[in-house]
Chain A
Amino acid sequence: MNTPLDSFPPNFTPTDDDRPAGEWLEGYWRQMAPWAIRLAIIASVYCLCGLYWPLRNLINNLGELQHWLVHPFTMMLYLPALIICYYAYQFGKMLEHALSAQNQLKLEEAFVQLRRFLIAGIVAALFWGLSSFAELYSTHQIINQQESFQEVPLESE
C-alpha cells in the first residue's frame, strides 16, 4: 500500500514490488544534484540583491508614504523566489546525500523537497505574472508619453 511521502518510516525495508534504481537512474541523479545546487546559489544571489535595494531605499526614506507603498511590494516579489532557491538547494543536497550514503529515505525526502519547490514555483509565478503585467503597462505608458512628447512641434518651428 502506498503511504504519503511526508510520513517517513524510521528505516527502509524494500518490499516485494520494489526494484533497485539501477546505475542509469543513479547516474542521472548524480548529474542533476550539483546543477540544482548551482541554480539555487545563483538565483539566491540575484534575489538577495533584489531584496537589498528596496530595503535600502525604504530605510533611507522611512517617513515617506510613497516608499512604503512601492518597496514592500517589490520585496514581496523576491521572497517566493528565495523560497524556491531554498527548496532547490535542499533537493540537490539531499539527492547528493542519498547517493553518497545510499540512503533511500534521503532520496524520498529529496523528492518531497522537489514537490515543495514546485508549490513555491506556483506562488512565485503568480507574483511575477502580476509584476510582468504592471511592467508591460508602465513600459507602454512611458513609450506613449515619449512619442507624444516628440510629436509636439517646437514654437520656433
Chain B
Amino acid sequence: MENNQTTPEEKAATPGLWLSNRWLSAVTGMAGLGKTVMVMALIVGGIRIFSSLYVQYYIWSMCLAPGRDFFLFEDYNWLYVFNTLSLFALIYLYFRSIMEGYKAFSLFQLSSVDDEALLEGQERLGRMFTWLCWWAGVYVLLVAFDYVFHYA
C-alpha cells in the first residue's frame, strides 16, 4: 500500500481507490460507535436467546416428564427436536457475526497507525455481513416454515 515516490500530479492521474486521511479518520472514528452497537446486540441477543431457551426447557421438561415415553415421531416430538436444533444453529450464527463485528471495530481503532489492523478489520467486517446474512436467511426460513406448518 505504501507509495511515497510518486509526485502529486502522478498520484492524481493514477486510477483507483485511495486510503485518504478523511476515509481513515472516518473508519477510526466509527470504531467506538461500532463496538457500542455490537455490545448492545450481544445484550439484546442474550435476552432473546434466554427467553427462547426458557421456552425450550419448559417444552422438554414436559416431553421428558417422569412416566412419559418419548418417541420421536409421536406428539410432534420431531418438531420440538427440530426447533431446539435450529435454535442452537441461530445462536451460533448470530454470535459468530456479532463477534466478527466487534473484532472488526476493535481493529479499526488501530487502523490509522497499523495497516495490518486495517486490512484484518475490513476482512472481519465482510465476515460480519456474511454471517449476519446467513443468520437472517435461516431465521426467515424458520419463521416461514412455522407459519406454513401452523396456518396452511
Our pick among A13, A49, A122, A132 for the contact of B47 (Cβ within 8 Å) is A132
Verify if B67 is at the interface (C-beta below 8 Å from A): no
Across the interface, do A14 and B12 meet the contact criterion of CB distance under 8 Å?
yes
Across the interface, do A28 and B123 meet the contact criterion of CB distance under 8 Å?
yes
Q: Which residues of A contact B139 (CB under 8 A)?
A: 46
Q: Which residues of B contact A51 (CB under 8 A)?
A: none
Interface string of A23-44 (1 = CB under 8 A from B): 0111011011001101100110
B:30-68 near A, CB below 8 Å? 30, 33-34, 36-37, 40-41, 43-44, 47-48, 50-51, 54-55, 58
Q: Which residues of A contact B20 (CB under 8 A)?
A: 12, 14-15, 18, 104, 108
Chain B: interface secondary structure?
Answer: helix
Across the interface, do A39 and B133 meet the contact criterion of CB distance under 8 Å?
yes
In this complex, what residue of A is CB-closest to B48? A132
Across the interface, do A21 and B17 meet the contact criterion of CB distance under 8 Å?
yes
Across the interface, do A42 and B137 meet the contact criterion of CB distance under 8 Å?
yes
Q: Which residues of B contact A (CB under 8 A)?
A: 1-3, 8, 11-12, 14-23, 25-27, 30, 33-34, 36-37, 40-41, 43-44, 47-48, 50-51, 54-55, 58, 118-119, 122-123, 125-126, 129-130, 132-133, 136-137, 139-140, 143
Q: Which residues of A contact B (CB under 8 A)?
A: 1-3, 5, 12-22, 24-26, 28-29, 31-32, 35-36, 38-39, 42-43, 45-46, 49, 88, 98-99, 102, 104, 107-108, 111-112, 114-115, 118-119, 121-122, 125-126, 128-129, 132-133, 135-136, 139-140, 143
